[in-house]
Structure 1
């Protein structure tokens, strides 16, 4: 991601005058799907009510890779947008480039430190000061289950990994697929991190995926997690390799499979199919993780612009994003929960209410951990190194758990 600081300073000197001419607050984002687009429209409306114009800069692509490519070219050319959707450790990378605006004055005036769990606010800061504002919280360590499949198989929804394999055996014996899975690296990593959290707990998870401790990664606990993860493959179907996540969710919706391990964006598929939580489907923490929470958070950073009028607009945008009104409407549309603590959940469904309760309790218990699979716990190069090792292990039975752990350690060292 390194941007030449000399080149950047020259480009900024030449280019900022262009962005200074416009009073509109230009916002780069990759929210282009139905519910997301509705939320963007609401954010635009709220900002305009504060007297600012909105210049929409939407770049399609759910993961944001295309948006980041466009953003880098804009910053290097000296014409950054006023705000951009950036998350996780990438915020720190941009902070190191010296191109982000400091929004600490807004944060202090509104008491953000008291409104956000420290593990969340820390991600939003660079050198101890706010440069980003969180929009939402996605819980990643969900297990989605079809109760009818469980009834037909005479199985019980599992709360531990031992119980999971008992239930999976019964579902398989009844002629159904126990686990709907999409064999793509990011989906492998999503399931794997839930296994690690369930087997090792939050403290171990932090040692392995946040601190990247080689001893933790090579430990018997990680070996057990790897072997547990691989064992899940026997309960998937032959069509799993390459399957998109939403098609795996559809298998659970249709009763073709019993369970799926996926973040709370999967809930949107159930909702779109007219299914009701508790009746048509069950949302439960992945086995062994009911007292912990892996989070994936969308957020916006503000870029340093030499324009006082735009600076006021940036501050009002940041304030609006964390306002109770926007936090509610956005997360109702997105399927996630508010990042802001102590917000009323009366309009949310039972899955979101459970997610919110667990978000708050895990932040108190210090079992709220950043998702490795979704770029919250470490830089993208390290995340990719871990994911590659995990996927190779999952798909190649000749690779032992010990060898996979060693490869993770070596790959992480090479990527740092």
Structure 2
């Protein structure tokens, strides 16, 4: 991602081209950059595209594989004077730098009309409402720490009940390994390793430690025995991944569960889209648990679309139509049914969503369980530095003490 300092240097030159930035827009034609390219993701984004076209627009799909690559492409086009109509980011601080540089339009009119202040969860509001203005349209709520498991794999390993806590999960992974299966299907990429670590931190460490580390940047908390234990518990999982893990994409890890070759995946509920695309049903072919226990923290994450700055009337109209369509009840439910997410709205009929989604919706009703994901709480630079620490610890023969020192050092250097 382009850093804030670099954006500052180019902001003045960007201002010269913004007036004509989206002259290519034709009526309500919308160029939409996103990174949803897997089978389940493609089926989901098509729900928004179809709804936008039915509303009178023309959706121009510009999919770019990989979140980091898609965000970089969007920012490069924005600063280069040829911005898309909308671009995907995570529900986080990823796009706050470009807000600060005045490179995004707000969508206050849409937010006011749709009563976003009343229907959106607070962690989402805190991410997209900056200095009193709404700068992104949220399109889903994902929980990145779901435990998915293959019913056939569990049966083969003789596992007859769901794990009720982290210790039971570790024991089940051992049973799967003993049965000749891959216990934990992990895509060995830095963001997936950090996602898994955060799941362990939230559960084993607890909500208070999680917030002290990420929200409060509390050096004492990160230096504590409790945090050291989180690191040790996280590294236990390494014993249950297979040799093909490094570099594997998340959806390829999900495929191992679908094929019955692996037992468990710790992943966001977007993984359900892959099960759906493979004609597998929640509760029948695979199980889903929202965290490591009945009342585990429900980490709130998701995706948004931002709207690059322009004063072109047609482009503005397209941006407002996109924001309205993407957040409307019908498209929200249709998208969630394919994507595996839950709707961002509380006023929709979600009765047709699967049992996992129903459990997620129920969990979100308990505000005490809602926990912002790490990227909502820390700046991208710090998140990247901490991710580097975690991926080094996972992939190298590094002691827990050294990993803790590296984590603290990264926090101090932020």
Provide TM-score, normalisation by structure 2.
0.89
Counterparts in 2 of 1:244 and 1:322: CA distance versus 1, 3 Å? closer
- Indicate the residue corresponding to 1:147 in structure 2: 151
Match of 2:373 in 1: 371
Residue 403 (structure 1) aligns with? 402
Cα deviation 1:86-115 (Å, max 9, x = unaligned): 232022111111122122232123210111
Q: Which moved more, 1:7-16 or 1:324-333?
A: 7-16
The offset of 1:44, in angstroms, is: 4.1
Deviation at 1:43, TM superposition (A): 3.2
**Equivalent residue for 1:211?**
216
SS at 1:297's partner residue? strand
Matching of residue 194 in structure 1 with residue 199 in structure 2: yes
- The match for 2:131 among 127, 130, 152 is 127
Check whether the contact 2:150–2:286 (CA below 8 A) recurs between aligned residues.
Answer: yes
In the aligned structure 1, how far is the partner of 2:311 from the partner of 2:262?
Answer: 55
How many correspondences in the alignment?
407
Give the unaligned 5+ runs of structure 1. none
| Structure 1 equivalent of residue 265 of structure 2 | 260
TM alignment of 1:5-20, pairs within 5 A? 5=8, 7-17=10-20, 19-20=22-23
Correspondence for 1:389: 389
Return the alpha-carbon distance in structure 2 between the equivalents of residues 286 and 61 of structure 1.
28
SS of 2:95's partner is: helix
Q: CA shift at 1:207, angstroms? A: 1.8
Distance 1:178 1:161, change over 3 A: same
SS in 1 for 2:154: helix
Q: CA deviation at 1:300?
A: 1.0
Q: Secondary structure at the match of 1:282?
A: strand
Instruction: Report the CA distance shift for 1:234/1:66 in structure 2 as closer, same or farther (over 3 A).
Output: closer
Quick one: which of 223, 239, 242 aligns to 1:234?
239
Seen in structure 2, the aligned counterparts of structure 1 residues 187 and 11 have a Cα distance that, compared at 3 Å, is: closer
For residues 42-61 of structure 1, give each alpha carbon's deviation from its aligned partner in whole angstroms, at most 9, with x where no partner exists: 4344445555x436251421
Q: Tell me: CA distance 1:310–1:287, structure 2 relative to 1, closer, same or farther (3 Å).
A: same
Is it true that 1:332 corresponds to 2:331 in the alignment?
A: no
Correspondence for 2:58? 54
Runs of 4+ aligned residues of structure 1 deviating over 6 Å after TM superposition are none
C-alpha distance in structure 1 between counterparts of 2:219 and 2:48, whole Å: 43
Counterpart CA distance in 1 for 2:293 and 2:47 is 38
Contact 1:194 1:289 in 2 (8 A): no
Structure 2: unaligned runs, 5 residues or longer? none
Deviations 1:74-97 (A, max 9, x none): 222333333222232022111111
Q: Is the 8 A contact 1:199 1:288 kept in 2?
A: no
How far the C-alpha of 1:13 sits from its partner, in A, is 2.5
- Give the equivalent residue in structure 1 for 2:362: 357
Q: Indicate conservation of the 8 Å contact 1:24/1:310, yes or no.
A: yes
CA contact 1:341–1:360 (8 Å) conserved in 2: no
Inter-partner Cα distance in structure 2 for 1:72 and 1:353: 36
Q: Following TM superposition, by how much is the alpha carbon of 1:116 offset from its aligned partner in structure 2, in angstroms?
A: 0.3
CA–CA separation in structure 1 for the residues paired with 2:243 and 2:16: 57
CA contact (8 A) 1:197 1:288 kept: no
Distance 1:44 1:409, change over 3 A: same
What SS does the aligned partner of 1:333 have? helix
Specify the alignment match of 2:121 in structure 1. 117
Q: 1:69 to 1:146 in 2, by over 3 A?
A: closer
